[in-house]
Structure 1
Amino acid sequence: MLHLAVLLVVISCHGTNALTRACPYKPADIVFVVDGSGSERLANFQKQLAFIQNFTGQFEIGKNQTQVSLVTFSTDVTNEFNLNTYYSKSDVLAAIGRAHYPNGETYTHLALDHVRMHSLTTQFGARLNVNKIVIVLTDGKSNEGLLTVQAANLLKQRKDVTVIAIGIGNEVDPTELAAIASNKNHTFTVTSFDLLQTIRQDLTDTTCHTCGQGAADIFFLLDSSGSEGTTNFRKQLEFVNSIANEFDFGPDTTQMGLATFATGVSLEIPVTRYHTKTEFMQNVLRVPFRDGESNLHLGLEMTRNQLSDKILTVKSHRFAIILTDGRSLEHERTVDESRKLHMAGVETFVIGIGSDVDESELLDVASDRNHLFRVNSFLQLDTIHQQIVDRICAEKTVFPTTLATTTPKPTTHTTMGTTTTTKPACGPKVADILFILDSSDSEGPENFKKILDFVYNFAHQFAIGVNNVLFSLITYSSDVNVRFYFNTFTSRNSVLNAILNTSYIGLGTNTSDALNVARTVMFRPEHGSRPNATNIAIVITDGRSRNPNATITEAALLKKTADVFSIGIGPDVDQHELGIIASKPTNVMQVNSFELLHTIQDKITQAACSGRI
């Protein structure tokens, strides 16, 4: 599994504001672990605190953004504050500045154990669906080297944690630093406390490029038709390696495969063949240019087979990355194979190269518009490789097979030599969209997570803000729980994280009360509902209400306030009741299982956008 970063950092004082630019859509739980032993003295200890303040100042601090904790250690461990103690940047920075210099020995193992058993527990604010970043700062060797290695190994056994170790001065033990860190790329050293600022940008980059946990299988499908030519085909291979180089390989972490398509399809590298990055990248460069026509549908079929359960025995996040510079010969068959690939749960990225591609066809092949990229030429492929990597790392945490979640950046498309953000669904419209989610015991927590993933992906398409679309969310079982109002979160980042942080309840199905709360509480001016906005309510349920008559009454009243959509999941929903809840028959949608929710995302988006939005 790809590990998230636990940073062990030895720190100093200067710094500016990089993270707000570098990774604004990746909230994290950051625990600083600061050496306060006698070898440092007070002045150097304070330089560490100043560096931490400057580094922290780059983040958006908040309950649904980045949380920070601080632990100091010497002979003993002092918990300065927990992840859930402060939710404003000014409070966090002030608390860092108040940290007490402990003075004493260097019992690093006690600090690492404290982080594992206290700081990174839910009781003290650690969230299940964000990166866990622990930053430990030290200027020397620990008093108990063996115990420190053991404590670090126990901490790194958590697959939602990556460790970065930063050593200061000449007394640091490089071997011990390496043992503390997740890997050699997560260790930093500086010769003095005054030089800590020189590693700030590298530390920032390491933090921002932390990849989501979970096993990933990534399959590349490359256009090898006659329009490409050998030189341009080689540039595709180099692009594949630029992405592969960003991941750790192994049967339980990341595996990659590759096929080419022209008149026929060639399986060049089966997805399970190579377990090291070096082997894979060397063999990528040996893939020959095939030449011929453009039968993309054959390549899509091969991709689906390679990413199927019969090939992949480990449960994983599955991604396809497809590159093409033209149009397929068999458009209808290409669309059909694309649908099968999406139905199989494969997140499908498409990169269109040059001016001869059919953008409509590319949209059919991609999972959605946020998975479509355009470049003018093969030379521009390298300009988007980091965007693809970041998106994969973010999406690896969205699905319910993982415990940690980061928020993806808005996808950007490179076109005509410029970079623009993806056009949001419905354009710059003003709408208030309320989700009403069934959280009853018939679902179970895993299926409820699938609903949240669907809501997240739906909301992710929109321009979110006070002048665009605002979201609110309630869940219901025996009782109704308001998760957030329209005016609770007004930024994209905060809304998306609030969706993913919604907890499961698991009791009865009190649909009528949920509809009542939607009308009497949620669509109210004091809770952010705007007079110039279209009101939309989306009800998602897997069963039937416990009080059908009350549901009929409340549905009729809500439909006077909002355009209501109803989505039923599975065989136990009451189709008649779905029709009663919805404003009109075309607002009723149904899928056979929670796994198929993604198949109606475009339909619900189009229905909402073509309605009163």
Structure 2
Amino acid sequence: MMHLAVLLLVISYHGTNAVTRACPYKPADIVFVVDGSGSEGLANFQKQLAFIQNFTGQFEIGKNQTQVSLVTFSTDVTNEFNLNSYARKVDVLSAIGRTNYPNGETHTHLALDYVRLHSLTPQNGSRTNVNKIVIVLTDGKSNEEALTVQAASLLKLRRDVSVIAIGIGNAVDPRELLAIASNKNHTFTVTSFDLLETIHQDLTDTTCHTCGQGPADIFFLLDSSGSEGSVNFRKQLEFVNTVANEFDFGPDTTQMGLATFATGVSLEIPITRYHTKSEFMQNVLRVLFRDGESNLHLGLELTRTQLSDKILTVKSHRFAIILTDGRSLEHERTVEEARKLHMNGVETFVIGIGNDVDDMELRDVASDRSHVFRVNTFDQLDNIHQQIVDRICAEKTVFPTTTTTTPKPTTHTTMSPTTTKPTTTTHKPTTHTTMGTTTTTKPACGPKVADILFVLDSSDSEGPENFKKILDFVYNFARQFAIGVNNVLFSLITYSSSVNVRFYFNTYTSRNNVLNAIQNTSYIGLGTNTSDALHVARTEIFQTQHGSRPNATNIVIVITDGRSRNPNATVVEATLLKKTAEVFSIGIGPEVDQHELSAIASKPSYVMQVNSFELLHTIEGKITEAACSGRI
């Protein structure tokens, strides 16, 4: 199994300049493998280089930070520069810009072999216990598909290597991309070189959330004492699911368990019980508030037992995440149990909530000072979830050779605890580009489960240019969300005289694929058969065979610029649809029927209208807030 942890801090944009900060806890070795075959041409090749420069610009470059290498391939392979060739970012970016277009055939297998045998070797700068990322960009099929698959398989045998494959244009073979990449979530496609920048943030997100395929066991210990109350306890459970949602589950990847402590201790979910994320997350929310005193030492003892060799038969990284809002009842016993936990090789994180925690005790319980976190309220827990995930991923970089470690020295030196301001966002911002401008938004609604259907008017009253503006609006709305089988799924239908299902909820389950499908939706340009579109939404889209989930909130967003062909039928279908989904209606321009918009929407606040297609972006925040508020 591969083992990788790649961490990126928030990447935000002001104009077009990125904040240069990435991989805050562990360095990385990144090798770009760039197609330079004759099918591209010089101009498109240079667009690849510009994309690579922008991506590289996020990192702190240096021999103790991130190193970058570049390999080009066509008929032959050219090593442009090694990982240890440049120690300054300016030199790396300059070298990328000087890269020559090789022209020729598409011998991808030679490039993959070169990376394995030369680029990722110590003499060329590859470092021990450092994340290794290989990013392959190609615009077509390789000349030797079997050899390419073989070369990729050999490269991926390395535990510390993750391979990302980016396909550009219509000549790419999706099967070959998947064979090159570490997994399906490590593949990206764009329809042209001009659209490479649209996956910049998606590539960053994928790299950020790549946390290795090696096994890890994570155990949560939650304070359930009387000082919290059931409402705040529930917020701890939601925090557990927010963290859990960032990891892949399985006996060979990640297992999680949960216990609570108060006067006594309760093993709520044993570490080996659930092997799927959905099972774990559903049962987390069923855990009951216990009430009582704060016997943290009993919880630590149970945590050590759950993360012991007697329970865990696979050598793995072991983590404990402890949440508390006060002082333990027996401080000395708590410190002793924490010491035993550290002795057993468990990386222990502790989160103090509120003003009644003992900072000294938090530091004693944590296995490292950097593993101590503080928030002022339970509502701020979400603000630190990504920091916790990133720390865990950083610890996973080095595969454990033993289950015991030398305990870290305990010190009582006064220090400022890790704090989080209330304004810190829960997720990393998403950067998207439309009409030449760049904006930054945070992922909406958190890791909630929702099925969102867009019903788009594609009638002749719009024209292709205005329809493209609708797609831009949908694209920018969708990319705010955490997209996936345990988060938000999207479906899209267009209608004119007939209804076209563009994709179902289970057609695309990755963010990149959903956004590409939205971008590639074609314009029809005939009548306005709204009633049939609502009928298809109700009878076909929200069905289990098409990915609709029983535990998800159903949301429909209808966008139209005119009146339906059959108003009475539209009202009837809308009434039926609203029994199974929350329906929003967006009207564009002066020709919209206000009464019909109101009849379509589930409530008056779900009706929105703009005077022109150019103004759609002005209601993006409003509809996001309305969709999230109490719904998603």
State the TM bucket, normalised to the shorter chain. 0.5 to 0.7
Residue 248 (structure 2) aligns with: 248
SS at structure 2 position matched to 1:61: coil
CA, structure 1 residues 143+129, in 2 after alignment: closer, same or farther (shift >3 Å)? same
The percentage of counterpart residues that share the same residue type is 86
CA distance in structure 2 between the partners assigned to 1:258 and 1:6 by the alignment: 26
Residue 176 (structure 2) aligns with: 176
Matched, 1:83 2:88: no
- Retained in 1: the 8 A contact 2:224–2:292? yes
AA in 1 matched with 2:189: T
AA in 1 matched with 2:205: D
AA in 1 matched with 2:401: T
CA distance in structure 1 between the partners assigned to 2:109 and 2:74 by the alignment: 10
CA distance in structure 1 between the partners assigned to 2:112 and 2:367 by the alignment: 41
Matched, 1:218 2:223: no
CA, structure 1 residues 418+42, in 2 after alignment: closer, same or farther (shift >3 Å)? closer
- Retained in 1: the 8 A contact 2:260–2:266? yes
CA distance in structure 2 between the partners assigned to 1:326 and 1:18 by the alignment: 40
- Retained in 1: the 8 A contact 2:51–2:196? yes
SS at structure 1 position matched to 2:374: strand
AA in 1 matched with 2:78: T
1:187-586 mapped onto 2 (5 Å cutoff)? 187-211=187-211, 214-397=214-397, 401=401, 413-414=418-419, 417=422
* Superimposed CA distance per residue, residues 431-470 of structure 1 (whole angstroms, 9 cap, x where no aligned partner): xxxxxxxxxxxxxxxxxxxxxxxxxxxxxxxxxxxxxxxx
Post-superposition shift, 1:259? 0.8
Post-superposition shift, 1:95? 2.4
CA distance in structure 1 between the partners assigned to 2:6 and 2:308 by the alignment: 33
CA, structure 1 residues 149+116, in 2 after alignment: closer, same or farther (shift >3 Å)? same
Residue 20 (structure 1) aligns with: 20
TM-score by length of 1: 0.62
- Retained in 2: the 8 A contact 1:241–1:281? yes
* Superimposed CA distance per residue, residues 121-175 of structure 1 (whole angstroms, 9 cap, x where no aligned partner): 2222211121101111111222233332232222112110111111112222223
Post-superposition shift, 1:292? 2.4
CA distance in structure 2 between the partners assigned to 1:27 and 1:277 by the alignment: 29
AA in 1 matched with 2:143: N
TM-score by length of 2: 0.60
- Retained in 2: the 8 A contact 1:370–1:411? no
- Retained in 2: the 8 A contact 1:24–1:59? no
Post-superposition shift, 1:102? 2.0
CA, structure 1 residues 213+401, in 2 after alignment: closer, same or farther (shift >3 Å)? farther
Post-superposition shift, 1:412? 7.7
* Superimposed CA distance per residue, residues 519-548 of structure 1 (whole angstroms, 9 cap, x where no aligned partner): xxxxxxxxxxxxxxxxxxxxxxxxxxxxxx
SS at structure 2 position matched to 1:21: coil
SS at structure 1 position matched to 2:30: strand
CA distance in structure 2 between the partners assigned to 1:255 and 1:165 by the alignment: 28
CA, structure 1 residues 132+43, in 2 after alignment: closer, same or farther (shift >3 Å)? same
SS at structure 2 position matched to 1:158: coil
* Superimposed CA distance per residue, residues 37-56 of structure 1 (whole angstroms, 9 cap, x where no aligned partner): 11111111111112222322
Residue 130 (structure 2) aligns with: 130
Residue 570 (structure 1) aligns with: none
CA distance in structure 2 between the partners assigned to 1:269 and 1:276 by the alignment: 13
* Superimposed CA distance per residue, residues 175-231 of structure 1 (whole angstroms, 9 cap, x where no aligned partner): 322222222322222221112122222223333444367432111101122222222
Post-superposition shift, 1:2? 6.0
CA distance in structure 1 between the partners assigned to 2:199 and 2:125 by the alignment: 28
AA in 2 matched with 1:270: P
Residue 108 (structure 2) aligns with: 108
Residue 450 (structure 2) aligns with: none
AA in 2 matched with 1:136: V
Post-superposition shift, 1:237? 1.3
CA distance in structure 2 between the partners assigned to 1:228 and 1:358 by the alignment: 16
* Superimposed CA distance per residue, residues 370-391 of structure 1 (whole angstroms, 9 cap, x where no aligned partner): 2211111111100000001111
- Retained in 2: the 8 A contact 1:6–1:182? no
CA, structure 1 residues 302+5, in 2 after alignment: closer, same or farther (shift >3 Å)? closer
- Retained in 1: the 8 A contact 2:3–2:397? no
CA distance in structure 2 between the partners assigned to 1:303 and 1:210 by the alignment: 26
* Superimposed CA distance per residue, residues 530-585 of structure 1 (whole angstroms, 9 cap, x where no aligned partner): xxxxxxxxxxxxxxxxxxxxxxxxxxxxxxxxxxxxxxxxxxxxxxxxxxxxxxxx
Residue 4 (structure 1) aligns with: 4
CA distance in structure 1 between the partners assigned to 2:377 and 2:304 by the alignment: 27
CA, structure 1 residues 17+91, in 2 after alignment: closer, same or farther (shift >3 Å)? same
* Superimposed CA distance per residue, residues 281-310 of structure 1 (whole angstroms, 9 cap, x where no aligned partner): 222222222222222111111001111122
CA distance in structure 2 between the partners assigned to 1:346 and 1:176 by the alignment: 40
Post-superposition shift, 1:331? 2.4
Q: How many residues align?
A: 405
AA in 2 matched with 1:383: N
Unpaired segments ≥5 residues, structure 2: 8-14, 403-414, 425-632
CA distance in structure 1 between the partners assigned to 2:420 and 2:335 by the alignment: 24
CA, structure 1 residues 5+194, in 2 after alignment: closer, same or farther (shift >3 Å)? farther
Q: Pairwise CA RMSD of aligned residues?
A: 2.6
CA distance in structure 2 between the partners assigned to 1:31 and 1:40 by the alignment: 21
Residue 527 (structure 2) aligns with: none
Residue 431 (structure 2) aligns with: none
Unpaired segments ≥5 residues, structure 1: 8-14, 403-409, 420-613
> Bigger CA drift: 72-81 or 390-399?
390-399
Residue 604 (structure 2) aligns with: none
